[in-house]
Amino acid sequence: MAVPSCSPPVRLRLAVLGLAAALAFAPAAASADGIVLKVFGGSSLDVLAPRQAPDEQKKIQQAVFDGFLKSHPEVSAIEWDAQGPQSGSLQRMMTAKLAGQEIDLVACPAFWVNGAYVRRGLLKPIGEEIKPFAANIDPISLDAFTNGGKVYGVPISTLSTSTVFYNADLFKKLGIPVPPSYDDLKAAVPKLKAAGVIPMLHQGANAPLWPMWFFETLAQASGDAVGVTQTNLAGKTRFDDPVDVEAFRLIKQWVDDGILSKDSLSVDQEGMRAAFASGKSAMYYGGTWEVPSLKESVKSFTWGVFAFPKMPGTPGAPRHGGGADNGICLSSSIPAEKVKPALDFVAYLSQPAVARLYLEPEEPIATSIKGVEGIDTPYARDLRATAFPNTIKFLDWIWPSEVATATASAIAGVVGGTLSPEDAAKSVQTTFQTLVDDGNWPPKD
């Protein structure tokens, strides 16, 4: 779900939920004595329970703080400073560091951890330190915050995956199989167009969400999207190798076959949602962060989900981007005397009883904390049965952010017909090579 992100980095992926007002919370009765833990978030979504209305989010966060402060009298206050849009997260973080702002803990979206924060030396590895409470954490979720074999954060969020949302009533009326194969979707195009319905729209004007398509197609083109990405970044393979070119070609096939509309290039998030809710489009591809919007806006028909289908002739099985979007990380500049209480707070947030306070209001399909279960609805059961078992790490949680931006631009060119798959892949390789030549890759230890 992607960002320079989307992401979908949440990352920009949770940006599709709508940005809350900028928030910076601290307990009202903060004492001048004792330790004050300072938590920094790059955007207003880098908070506990980010999907909640501001007032409700504040109550949830305060309840979490109060429980910790009661059991840790050596800490007098927790100040959680999270403001601004996600697109400005890195700039806000770097500005704070250059200004010498004290940061003990970082509310760290997985996208920024892997794409920028680790590379810039902003975080401290905590693999050994979290072992006493690692049993509370879903291991796959922890992988989203593992970079170069080192753990940099603890996931404290709902889990996302990617899926296709569809108009179930329309599919039934037109006799379109569910779940459909790719050939079923191709065959359905004339029926949908005859009914005056756009087969599929994407929020193409929101560029950071385009790479989600590449995550799917590279998995099928290569059989191991994460492995290919890692060897590309290590310089052992290239971003313009045949499998990467094929991934771009497979995206183009959705357009050439009439399933994905070129009109997507001018459609933003709200336009995509509105077209689906009004019955003007039959499908859109996105992430589980779309569910709250669907529940609120779709009133005239039943919607459902199905996994991104396997495309004809591809060697790899379908794999869908996802994982734990948000975590809590230790700042590399944390004063030594604050390390223990900061880690105590991280451990506290991983306790199931505490995690329920900030995760259950989100109505999660799945979570990063063991013992906090997902909701029991048909779509949630379908996703847990089909999409989640085949979910892999979003590739923009591995790419440097510059590669994520270049990939988004390249996909838009392919969809619009201004770039060939070959030229699209070359543009990404050129961006990556510039990072290497300028000494900005690989990350410094």
Higher pLDDT, 21 or 433: 433
pLDDT (average), residues 181-200: 98
What pLDDT is attached to residue 5? 35
- State phi, psi for 407 to the nearest 5 degrees: -65, -40
Average pLDDT, the chain: 91
- Note the pTM of the prediction, 2 decimals: 0.80
Handedness of CA 155, 159, 160, 163 (dihedral sign): positive
Handedness of CA 40, 43, 46, 52 (dihedral sign): positive
Contact 175, 239 (CB under 8 A): no
Second CATH level (architecture) for the domain 162-321+397-437: 3-Layer(aba) Sandwich (3.40)
**Distance, CA of 170 to CA of 281 (rounded, Å):** 10
Decide if 12-160+323-393 and 162-321+397-437 have a common fold: yes
Confidence label for 443 from pLDDT (cuts 50, 70 and 90)? confident
What pLDDT is attached to residue 170? 98
On the question of pLDDT at 411 being above 70, the answer is: yes
State whether residue 253 is helix, strand or coil.
Answer: helix
Confidence label for 85 from pLDDT (cuts 50, 70 and 90)? confident
On the question of pLDDT at 241 being above 80, the answer is: yes
CATH top class, domain 12-160+323-393: alpha beta
∠ CA 247-6-25 to the nearest 5 degrees? 160
State whether residue 164 is helix, strand or coil.
Answer: strand
Higher pLDDT, 380 or 8: 380
What pLDDT is attached to residue 397? 86
What pLDDT is attached to residue 79? 98
Quote the tokens at residue 403. 């590669």
What pLDDT is attached to residue 395? 94
- Of residues 290, 287, 265, 289, the one with CA closest to residue 277: 290
Angle of the 401-416 helix axis to the 211-222 helix axis, nearest 10: 90
- State phi, psi for 321 to the nearest 5 degrees: -65, 145
Handedness of CA 94, 96, 101, 107 (dihedral sign): negative
What pLDDT is attached to residue 175? 98
Domain boundaries, the chain: 12-160+323-393, 162-321+397-437
Instruction: Render pLDDT for 42-54 as a digit per residue (tens, 0 to 9).
Output: 999 899 999 888 9
**Distance, CA of 192 to CA of 175 (rounded, Å):** 11
On the question of pLDDT at 19 being above 60, the answer is: no
Q: What is the DSSP string of 319-369?
A: -EEEEE-EEEEEETT--GGGHHHHHHHHHHHTSHHHHHHHHGGG--SSBSB
- State phi, psi for 42 to the nearest 5 degrees: -70, -20
What pLDDT is attached to residue 1? 42
What pLDDT is attached to residue 17? 35
pLDDT (average), residues 119-135: 95
State whether residue 389 is helix, strand or coil.
Answer: helix
On the question of pLDDT at 182 being above 80, the answer is: yes
Find the range with the poorest average confidence among 18-22, 51-55, 129-133, 347-351: 18-22
Instruction: Render pLDDT for 337-367 as a digit per residue (tens, 0 to 9).
Output: 999 999 999 999 999 999 999 999 999 999 9
Instruction: Render pLDDT for 201-226 as a digit per residue (tens, 0 to 9).
Output: 999 999 989 999 999 999 999 999 99
Question: Alpha carbon of 400 to those of 233, 410, 427: distances in Å?
Answer: 9, 16, 15
Dmax over CA atoms of the chain, in Å, equals 71
- Of residues 71, 73, 49, 68, the one with CA closest to residue 59: 49
Upstream peptide bond of 179 is cis (omega within 30 degrees of 0):
yes
Give me the sheet containing 281-287, strands edge to edge: 198-201, 281-287, 162-167, 303-306
Instruction: Render pLDDT for 285-310 as a digit per residue (tens, 0 to 9).
Output: 999 989 989 999 999 999 999 999 99
Find the range with the poorest average confidence among 25-34, 177-186, 193-202, 432-441: 25-34
